[in-house]
Amino acid sequence: MIAAYLVLLIPLTGMAFFALAGHRADSGAWNIRLNAVNLIATLWLAINVLREGTILSAGKAFLIDPFNVYLIVLTAFVGLTTAIFSAPYMAHEMETGRLNDARLKLYHAMYQGFMLSMYLVLTTNNMGILWVAMEGATLATVLLVSLYRTPESVEAAWKYFILCGVGIAQALFGTILLYYAAEQIGSEENALLWSVLYENADKLNPEVLKIAFVFLLIGYGTKIGLVPLHNWLPDAHSEGPTPMSAVLSGLLLNDALYAVVRNKMLVDGATQSDMAGFLMMGFGLLSFLVGALFLHRQKDIKRLFSYSSIEHMGMMTFAFGIGGPLATFAALLHMTVHSLTKSAIFVTVGHASQLAGTQNMEKIRGLIKTQPAIGWGLLIGTVSIAGFPPFGVFTSEFLVLLATMRSYPWLAPLLLLGIGIAFAGLFRHIQPIVYGDRPEGQQPIKANLWPVMIHLGLVLWLGLAIPGFLADWFSQATLLISGSAP
């Protein structure tokens, strides 16, 4: 249990440290160190959970089970690699004069603050605190989106703030209804604790929970970026600094989905119906298709990949909605590989736009010829996210398709169609970017591509063969969520 406290304490001290110490030349390095220490702490926590099963802290404030512990490790991992990428990236931004000391201090403090709220979302056992932490994540990142202080970035941050704030208010309303239902069965003391709610799920009033779930899905769905609540997402991703886009896409969206799935488990227990699942499938499929279609219209490279995030989050929501062990397993796997691939892509995109000095895709050309590492990184990342074998995204998408074929075969063509559209949308933009001639005066830059290689390597590994312990881990989580092992 100490590990769990440690996981929360490290970013907290990190945030205080950066806020108090101000910006130093080695802030980026410290950011890496803090995240590295935290990764070790999360691994320790994960080993504990895998050995002993679910851990409930004293006072029941924190709950670590196989479902969230794997997300915790993923969070720490992506947090670390993004920090590794962020150090030289931010130094470069500083050199070009887009940022100053005060903003970098804010950036590093809020990076840790964001990590803290992510860990809090994942570890807490209290549905109310889950909401508070989720809102905290918005508050931590909103100033980072407008870090460059351009009119566009201020607009994007304002949109992000207002939309997510208003959206997540619905989730609090849902949580209040949940609390109301829990109070009715008389567990006043711990009525918002997930573990208590889960034990008594069958006693909760189904009518109340049905309505509550609609609010929860809309609320957290805004954060997932489900269509039609997605408008903030492309703006926030495209205007913020690239490391922020990487953690937003790789972590925040996942955690919002995590919150929805936790609530779905309660609602399913209470209503004994597929109502929650159908809602998630509907929203998920819509987001998947709309995201795929919008890929074609983009001009900004970061906007392009944020629509790809919407598309993939839609697919995960859809898969969790189907329920069942196979679909749940696929969704968990997809969560992992999407996080890894998407943050890798954002890292390369960040380098690519620094290289070309623009985010406009019509102006970024000839990456392979200028700097092969970035060009190939982007190409392989895109191949992977589009769902090509042998990458992990292919495996998970294939499993989702398989699960769909079993449960709702008439939806499978729609999924296939969406994957095809998304593939075309990505490649029509990326192909001229990576190939093509090198424009005049384009020079290679100092880039750290280790995070990209590690991420893509992992995704490749997950695609070729899922290691035994990991498969076991996913199975435990699947068992927890869907009630039976795959």
- Interface with another protein (CB under 8 A): 126, 128-129, 131-132, 135-136, 139, 142-143, 146, 149-152, 154-159, 161-162, 165-166, 169-170, 172-173, 176-177, 179-180, 183-184, 191-192, 205, 207-208, 211, 234-235, 238-239, 294, 297
Minimum distance of another protein from residue 173's CB (angstroms): 6
C-alpha span between 451 and 253 (Å, rounded) = 20
Closest to 119 in 3D by CA, of 219, 3, 20, 29: 3
Q: At what angle do helices 101-123 and 27-52 cross, to 10 degrees?
A: 10
Hey, what are 2's tokens? 């100490």
Minimum distance of another protein from residue 234's CB (angstroms): 8
Minimum distance of another protein from residue 169's CB (angstroms): 5
Which one, 130 or 462, has the nearer CB to another protein?
Answer: 130
Closest to 178 in 3D by CA, of 142, 141, 143, 217: 217
Hey, what are 271's tokens? 């209503």
Minimum distance of another protein from residue 126's CB (angstroms): 7
Hey, what are 354's tokens? 């620094």
Which one, 303 or 338, has the nearer CB to another protein?
Answer: 303
C-alpha span between 412 and 285 (Å, rounded) = 11
Which one, 186 or 389, has the nearer CB to another protein?
Answer: 186
Distances (CA, A) of 484 to 5, 127, 273, 476: 31, 24, 17, 9
Minimum distance of another protein from residue 132's CB (angstroms): 3
Minimum distance of another protein from residue 307's CB (angstroms): 10
Q: Is the peptide bond before 390 cis (omega within 30 degrees of 0)?
A: yes
**What does R_g of the chain's alpha carbons equal in angstroms?**
21
- Pairing of the two strands 63-64 and 55-56: antiparallel
Which one, 165 or 390, has the nearer CB to another protein?
Answer: 165
Which one, 83 or 270, has the nearer CB to another protein?
Answer: 270
Side-chain-side CA neighbours of 313 within 13 Å: the count stands at: 35
Which one, 190 or 475, has the nearer CB to another protein?
Answer: 190
Closest to 462 in 3D by CA, of 391, 400, 402: 391
Which one, 165 or 282, has the nearer CB to another protein?
Answer: 165
Which one, 136 or 377, has the nearer CB to another protein?
Answer: 136
Residue 56, H or E segment: strand 55-56
C-alpha span between 347 and 343 (Å, rounded) = 6
CB 366, CB 435: distance < 8 Å: yes
Residues linked to residue 300 through DSSP beta bridges, in sequence order: 360
Distances (CA, A) of 451 to 81, 343, 448, 456: 5, 9, 7, 8
Minimum distance of another protein from residue 157's CB (angstroms): 7
396 alpha-carbon distance from chain centroid: 16
Minimum distance of another protein from residue 350's CB (angstroms): 19
Hey, what are 68's tokens? 């969230």
Which one, 205 or 358, has the nearer CB to another protein?
Answer: 205
Which one, 222 or 404, has the nearer CB to another protein?
Answer: 222
Minimum distance of another protein from residue 193's CB (angstroms): 9
Minimum distance of another protein from residue 433's CB (angstroms): 20
The residue type of 188 is E
Minimum distance of another protein from residue 354's CB (angstroms): 21
Q: Classify residue 448 as exposed, middle or buried by CB count within 10 Å of its CB (0-12, 13-18, 19+).
A: middle
Which one, 44 or 180, has the nearer CB to another protein?
Answer: 180
CB 365, CB 436: distance < 8 Å: yes
- Residue tagged 């227990």 (tokens): 269
